[in-house]
Amino acid sequence: MKKAFLFLGLLAGTTLAFSQSVKLQKGYYKPSTGTYVAPHYKTESNNTNWDNFSTKGNTNYSTGTDGTKAKDYSVEAYNYGSGQTIQTGSRGGQYYINSNGNKTYVPKR
């Protein structure tokens, strides 16, 4: 009986977690490049990256890929861009220029 309650509790928690934060993004063309982006699942926009598929500790259940970005306010976030100058964009995002010359956005500190 205990196992049944535990299973139902885990199932309900998992269902609530995914139903509140995941949506299907329709396919669209990127105006800047003209390339087509196929429909895909993504997390709802909010003020943190803790629940994003791209964050360490999270897995995109539709593709099976693990996240690689540090969680906001984590110890790893404080070490982002070690030795690089952190710049602030016009909309408040912070980034540094990586070795390829591209912007790499950093988690909130």
Question: What does the pLDDT look like over 43-93, one tens digit per residue?
Answer: 887 777 778 888 888 888 778 888 888 787 676 666 666 667 777 888 778
More confident residue, 99 or 81: 99
pLDDT above 60 for 38: yes
What is the phi-psi region of residue 34: left when phi exceeds 0, alpha when psi lies from -120 to 50, beta otherwise? left
Identify which of 43, 24, 109 has the alpha carbon closest to the alpha carbon of residue 74.
Answer: 109
User: What pLDDT is attached to residue 5?
Assistant: 46
CB atoms within 10 A of CB 6: 10
User: What pLDDT is attached to residue 75?
Assistant: 65
CA distance 12 to 16: 6
**E-state strands within 4-66:** 22-25, 28-29, 36-37, 40-43
Name the band, by pLDDT with cuts 50, 70 and 90, for residue 3. low
